């Protein structure tokens, strides 16, 4: 594919192919991040996978032994009874010389300020234009616009990418990438035409050789289709898109039918510990786990290198085929 980077804003020239790996809980390790970066995309380590800032430092250092290419770190701020020390994680990232950080979640202002003061490029994930504009005011350099198709936290607006990306193109004053529902070069080409500077992929990178996920889960993604997710936790305005298994459906039934409205009724079913164990023991029914309807577009488990190169080639071919539909008036 003719490198799109030469026409991109300077802030986006840290990858050869405009494909960014999602910062996924339990999955964004040095193994996956380095593989994506080595393939020409931008790999991302997920900070809060690691129990302490010191453990994150070690993972960043391990990633540097696996790739000489740029990679990023994700910090997601989510509701918690005892929130992590986000400032300490951010400081570990700063101390280790990371140049790009993806932020997401609630009230990211203090962390963004800390990162920007250190000269770090900040990518912020947003599910609405309003939130994206607020992030711009906080000084972020570019945005990841997450449509309703995305896995995990989908927001509460249910606006799909076809509209959301168009609105981003019309209103945002900083570059953005598209997230949610992307798995191939046709999606990349479409996102670029809608105004994005690249795409973010989570579920697609879960089904790669290097992803630290049990083979059974990778095969479950390949066997599933676009109908095999469900939305949970909407009652508590923390809507999450998850793989549609018995545990998720049991939790959804309680959520819809419970008279008390107490989260504690479904807490054992949506345990993060059980979700993490899914990726280790390979039982897709063991707990709730995040995935997107883009599963319907995923049919194999390639290496990251094969996947990124294929996406690049497909996007190039898609542009060639569509441009052939434009006939000069002189030839009509």
CB 184, CB 193: distance < 8 Å? no
Q: Given this model, what pLDDT does residue 332 score?
A: 65
pLDDT tens digits, 101-124: 999 998 899 999 999 999 999 999
Indicate the pLDDT class of residue 7, thresholds 50, 70 and 90: very low
CA distance 127 to 105: 10
Kindly give the residue spans of alpha helices, DSSP state H, lying in the chain. Answer: 30-38, 53-66, 86-95, 109-117, 129-137, 161-171, 185-193, 203-206, 215-223, 246-257, 272-281, 304-323
CB 265, CB 254: distance < 8 Å? yes
Q: What is the pTM of this model?
A: 0.93
pLDDT tens digits, 255-275: 999 988 899 999 999 998 999
Q: Given this model, what pLDDT does residue 78 score?
A: 83
| Among the ranges given (42-46, 58-62, 213-217, 266-270), the one the predictor scored with the smallest mean pLDDT | 266-270
Indicate the pLDDT class of residue 5, thresholds 50, 70 and 90: very low
Q: What is the CATH number of domain 10-213?
A: 3.20.20.70
**Is 6's pLDDT higher than 70?**
no
Q: Given this model, what pLDDT does residue 227 score?
A: 98
Q: Given this model, what pLDDT does residue 106 score?
A: 86
What residue ranges do the domains of the chain occupy? 10-213, 229-281
**Is 249's pLDDT higher than 90?**
yes
**Is 12's pLDDT higher than 70?**
no
Average pLDDT taken over every residue of the chain: 93
Check residues 126 and 6 and name the one with the higher pLDDT: 126
Quick one: three-class SS letters along 292-310? Answer: CHHHHHCCCCCCHHHHHHH
């Amino acid at each position: 594919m003719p490198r799109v980077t030469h026409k991109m804003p300077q802030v986006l020239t840290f990858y050869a192919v405009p494909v960014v790996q999602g910062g996924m809980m339990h999955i964004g390790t040095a193994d996956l991040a380095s593989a994506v970066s080595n393939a020409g995309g931008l790999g991302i380590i997920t900070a809060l996978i690691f129990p302490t800032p010191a453990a994150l430092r070690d993972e960043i250092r391990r990633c540097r032994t696996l790739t000489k290419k740029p990679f990023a770190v994700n910090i997601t701020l989510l509701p918690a009874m005892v929130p992590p020390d986000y400032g300490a994680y951010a400081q570990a990232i700063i101390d280790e010389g990371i140049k790009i950080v993806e932020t997401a979640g609630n009230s990211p202002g203090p962390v963004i300020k800390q990162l920007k003061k250190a000269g770090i490029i900040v990518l912020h994930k947003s599910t609405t234009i309003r939130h994206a504009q607020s992030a711009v005011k906080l000084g972020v350099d570019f945005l990841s616009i997450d449509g309703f198709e995305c896995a995990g936290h989908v927001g509460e607006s249910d606006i799909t990418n076809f509209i959301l990306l168009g609105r981003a193109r019309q209103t945002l004053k900083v570059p953005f990438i598209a997230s949610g529902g992307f798995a191939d070069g046709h999606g990349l080409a479409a996102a670029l035409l809608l105004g994005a500077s690249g795409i973010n992929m989570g579920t697609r990178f879960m089904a790669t050789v290097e992803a630290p996920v049990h083979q059974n889960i990778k095969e479950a993604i390949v066997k599933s289709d676009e109908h095999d997710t469900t939305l949970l936790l909407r009652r508590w305005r923390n809507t999450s898109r998850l793989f549609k298994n018995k545990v998720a459906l049991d939790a959804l039934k309680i959520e819809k039918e419970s008279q008390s409205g107490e989260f504690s009724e479904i807490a054992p079913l949506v345990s993060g510990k059980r979700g993490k164990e899914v990726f280790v023991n390979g039982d897709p029914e063991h707990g709730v786990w995040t995935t997107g309807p883009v599963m319907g577009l995923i049919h194999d488990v390639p290496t990251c290198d094969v996947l990124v190169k294929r996406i690049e080639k497909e996007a190039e071919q898609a542009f060639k085929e569509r441009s052939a539909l434009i006939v000069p008036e002189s030839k009509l």
